[in-house]
Amino acid sequence: MPPTNSTVTDLYCSKCRARFDINSVQNLCLCGGPLLVDYDYNEAGRYLTREVLKSRPDSMWKYREVLPVKNDTNIITLGEGGTPLLPSRAIGAELGLSHLYFKDESVNPTGSFKARGLGMAVSRARELGIKKVIIPTAGNAGSAVAAYAARAGMQALIIMPKDVPASFLVDCVYHGAQIELVEGTIKDCGARAAKKVKNEGWFSMATLKEPYRIEGKKTMGYELAEQFNFKLPDVIIYPTGGGTGIIGMWKAFDEMEKMGLIDSRRPRMVSVQAEGCAPIPRAFEQGLERADEFPNPTTLAAGLRVPSAVGDFLILRVVRDSHGTALAVSDEDIIRDTKELGAREGIFAAPEGGASLACLKKLIETGFVKTSDKIVVFITGSGYKYLDVLQAEI
């Protein structure tokens, strides 16, 4: 039987390319760039074949050779990954699309795609001997940290805006996490978390400020490739806050090509944000490599209320390298299409999923997508986590 251990080698900076020891606790590079994980892809490719993948249970851990946790005893799992790719039953035909699919991440533990990234990050933190973790969050990431830290027997401190949807607060409390509520946005939460890290010794799991969340998120890309029989779709529409998902999938596609699992063809990657907080679309339209902080951010899609992202340059690079685009949609359109997903497809999505569908409609109007394109719309979280927000829109 082929081994299923990690082929992880080291870390490298996404900006200056400096290398770092995989066995040391790391956050950002000295230059400020996020660190990414590297592997021995020749070795991994000997074992991670199409045939082997078909024989393994559906879980994000089936890609063991290109995941960073070295010892299986350190894996903290609640059953994350292996989420369904649902062909549209109604909306696609109504929009004149032949191949529309919904990647439904809401069925993950804690109700969102965040389970992948934080499950991986907590597992790796445990392996590195970290005992207490902190995260600034708009909601879903806090739920995931609280759950996985509880299962790992670690302390967790969750810092959230005071206006966070109530379900996230309840979720974190019932998972035994410490909570701090802060006036303002996730940026203000991040500033508070940074002080705690410096003064009290917490380990930060903020987006892209540690190397391992992205390794969990990248498994969405591996799954998509498998679900499309190793021929990637034409377009991927992804609601973007901090951006680990879109960056992670792009990394996954590169890794898969290195291992001979796919060819060089790539999807056009589309980043969607809310009009009330749209730093990435604005920077994309202006041809900038970095996104200026978005002033006075406001949107009912809490996961999209990220006025500035550490990995903004990586998001923009993915969008441009893939010949994709970045768009903003209104809260009115977000609610309209969140309702449509439920009523027409049976998918009770978080507002971020409604943003993805609203973005698709804009792409049809502009001619960016063709009727024959294979299109994947990401549903990143469950509407059940936003009941108070969605109830107000009935």
* Residue 199 structural domain: 114-204
Domain shared by 15 and 163, yes or no: no
Q: Cβ of 365: how many Cβ atoms within 10 Å?
A: 9
Residues 6 or more apart whose Cβ sits within 8 Å of residue 156 = 132, 133, 134, 135, 145, 146, 149, 150, 172, 175, 176, 177, 178
Residue 284: alpha-carbon gap to chain centroid: 20
Going 196 to 197 to 198 to 200, the CA torsion angle's sign is positive
Domain shared by 247 and 320, yes or no: yes
Is 79 a domain residue? no
As a whole number of angstroms, the distance between CA 196 and CA 67 comes to 29
As a whole number of angstroms, the distance between CA 279 and CA 266 comes to 25
Q: Cβ of 78: how many Cβ atoms within 10 Å?
A: 14
Residues of the chain with pLDDT under 50: 1-2
The pLDDT of residue 138: 87
CATH number for the domain including 313? 3.40.50.1100
- For the chain, the residue count is 394
Domain shared by 149 and 237, yes or no: no
Residues 6 or more apart whose Cβ sits within 8 Å of residue 385 = 111, 112, 139, 140, 143, 165, 167, 168, 171, 350
The pLDDT of residue 4: 67
Is 192 a domain residue? yes
Domain shared by 156 and 278, yes or no: no
Domain shared by 46 and 157, yes or no: no
Domain shared by 14 and 149, yes or no: no
**DSSP reduced 3-state for 248:** helix
Is 38 a domain residue? yes
Is 1 a domain residue? no
Residue with tokens 């996490």: 177
How much is the pTM?
Answer: 0.96
Mean of per-residue pLDDT scores for the chain:
96
- Which of residues 22, 44, 74 is at a domain's end? 74
Domain shared by 252 and 350, yes or no: yes
Domain shared by 245 and 321, yes or no: yes
As a whole number of angstroms, the distance between CA 390 and CA 339 comes to 9
**DSSP reduced 3-state for 133:** strand
Is 128 a domain residue? yes
Q: Residue 269 forms beta bridges with which residues?
A: 236
The pLDDT of residue 200: 96
Domain shared by 263 and 145, yes or no: no
Domain shared by 255 and 357, yes or no: yes
Task: Describe the strand order of the beta sheet including 235-239 as a list of residue ranges.
Answer: 85-87, 99-104, 374-379, 235-239, 268-274, 325-329
CA contacts within 13 A on the Cβ side of 204: 23
The pLDDT of residue 2: 46
Domain shared by 36 and 95, yes or no: no
The full DSSP string for 295-358 is: SS---S-GGG--S--TTHHHHHHHHHHTT-EEEEE-HHHHHHHHHHHHHHH---B-HHHHHHHH
Task: Describe the strand order of the beta sheet including 8-13 as a list of residue ranges.
Answer: 19-20, 8-13, 35-39
Going 279 to 280 to 282 to 283, the CA torsion angle's sign is positive
∠ CA(355), CA(290), CA(15), 5° rounding? Answer: 115
Number of domains observed in the structure of the chain: 3
